[in-house]
Structures are given as C-alpha cells and as structure tokens.
Structure 1
Amino acid sequence: MTGSQDEPRTVCRRTVVAAVGGAGLTVALTACGDDAPGDGKGAGSTGGANAPGGDSGGTPGGGGGGKVLAGVAEIPEGGGKIIGDVVVTQPVKGEFKAFSAKCTHQGCAVGSVAANVIVCPCHNSRFDASDSSVQGGPATSPLPSAPIRREGDSIVLA
C-alpha cells in the first residue's frame, strides 16, 4: 500500500532548509521595523528600517500620502531620523529631505544619519543627506527619494 498514513514520508534536505530559511527571514523582517514615529525608541531614532523619502519624485517604498513621519523638532540639523522605511534629513536649517531607508547596494536598512551623511551598517555605504548621492561604496546608486511636505510643525509623507 503506497501513500498510507502509516508509512514515513521522505522530505528532501533542500525543502527543509528552504522552509527554515523562509521562517527565519520572516522573523528577521518583523523584528526590523518600528513604524511608530517619534517615540524615541528602537528604529525610530537613528537606527534601522527600510524606505522612501524626498522633496520630489515617486514614493519608492509605497506609503500613504499624508502620513505624519515626525515633528520638525525631531529632525536634527545636519542629521536625520529613520522612521519605518523612510529616512528624513535636515541638511541645512529648515530644509527637509526624505529618502528610502533601504540601501541600494544589497537592500540593508540604513542605520544612522550624522554630519550630513546617511550610513548603511552592512557594508559601510555612505550617502549625502541632502541629495542621497553616493559618497562611498560599495553602493553605486543614490537612495530613491520620496515626496514630503512640511505641515506646521510636522513632516508629512506627500
């Protein structure tokens, strides 16, 4: 009798490895994002996440129009803040930009913004905080920009 419930099933090693790898990726991606803007914890300040941002252009990582990303006071001059899949910067006083927080090299989440430089911790790619141009590789393409606007004391995804 083939196919009975009493017979053991043979599972390929490749199937097991793929299933375990997929489950691990799901856990890792779930742990990466913190979409709570402005709470000052975890990925919301200057560490971790994937995505869009900028004064013009498309919305690379999706995102809904009108979503408040941060308060103006939360974005330091010459620095920035990573909020979910967006990195918002203030390269000069009163000028705000937003870019994808996903590195163009291998898709890692950028990890920090300081001294007008966005840094990816995976392979140390560096991007200019004013236009996301590559300052140091291995990335060769700038971070995609996403439209933002200032509404009073808030930075909003357009």
Structure 2
Amino acid sequence: MPGRSVPSRRTVLRSAALTPVAGLGMAACSPGDDGAAPARPTAPVDLGADGEVAKGGTKLYRDQNVVVSRAEDGSLKAFSTVCTHARCPINKLEGTKLICPCHGSEFDARTGEVLHAPASVPLIELPVEVKQGRIIASPGV
C-alpha cells in the first residue's frame, strides 16, 4: 500500500523474539541462575491435616510447591519445591529424595540439601507449624 511502511523481516523477527511466551513463567529454564531467589509462598498456606505426614515420613504438596517432613520426634520441616537451579517446580518425591524434572537435580526432602547437580544451592526452608490440627507453611522472611 502506498504511504504505509512495511516492517523489515529483521524487525518482525526481533519483535517475536522479545515477546514473552504465555505459560513459561516460573518453569522457564534459566541456566546460571544458581543463587537467585526462587518463588515461595507469599502468604501462610494450609497444607492439610496434621496426620498426613507420619513420623519419619515426607509429603510433597505439588499444588503449593512445598514438601514437609516429620522427624521421629514429631517436629516438622518444610521447604519450597521450586528448584534452585532453574526455578522449575519439583513434582517427584521418591522416599525422601526430590527430583527436578527439568535437569535432574536431586534434593533431600528432610534437609533441603542438594544430592545431585546441576543445582548447587539448597532448597529454601519455610517456617511450618501445626495450628488447630492443620499443617501451615509460611513464606518466611
């Protein structure tokens, strides 16, 4: 059309490359992000009944990105299950081992410690308590 400028192929490709793709959000892979703060709950989260985690056991709460373990003495620990390597949500728990689906990082669900690279930073510990028979995880500070 006369008088109307047509963008160059380079302009169109550059714009497409800069446009965010819906749905990638936190699951996008960002190599080299070790040490960056992954997402964690922003408000206290009711995970379920206190009896859901047995002594010596662990439970993965996929929808809340939290894992909870209970020591033999009954004390609870909770960790964010957003991988510290590339911020992928961890969706697999085998015994007490969390396995990230993106690059295979493995973490101890009881301590948050890295068991297998590429992650090199432990999971973020979250405050957890039992209130009125419910397990509540908080975002921490």
The two structures have a TM-score, normalised by structure 1, of 0.63
Residue in 1 aligned with 2:104?
A: 124
Pairwise CA RMSD: 2.8
Deviation at 1:6, TM superposition (A): 5.6
Runs (5+) with no aligned partner, structure 1: 33-59
- For structure 2, the 5+ residue unaligned runs are 28-38
Which of 20, 42, 47 aligns to 1:63? It is: 42
| Superposition pairs of residues 6-155 of structure 1, within 5 angstroms | 7-10=4-7, 12=11, 13-19=13-19, 22=20, 24=21, 26-29=22-25, 61-65=40-44, 67-75=45-53, 78-93=57-72, 94-155=74-135
* Aligned counterpart, 1:42: none
- How many pairs does the alignment contain? 122
What displacement does 1:154 show? 0.9
* Paired amino acid for 1:73: G
SS of the equivalent of 2:126 reads: coil
> Does the alignment pair 1:157 with 2:137?
yes
Moved over 4 A (4+): none
Question: Which amino acid is the alignment partner of residue 86 of structure 1?
Answer: N
Displacement after TM superposition at 1:91 (Å): 4.5
Q: Percent identity?
A: 25
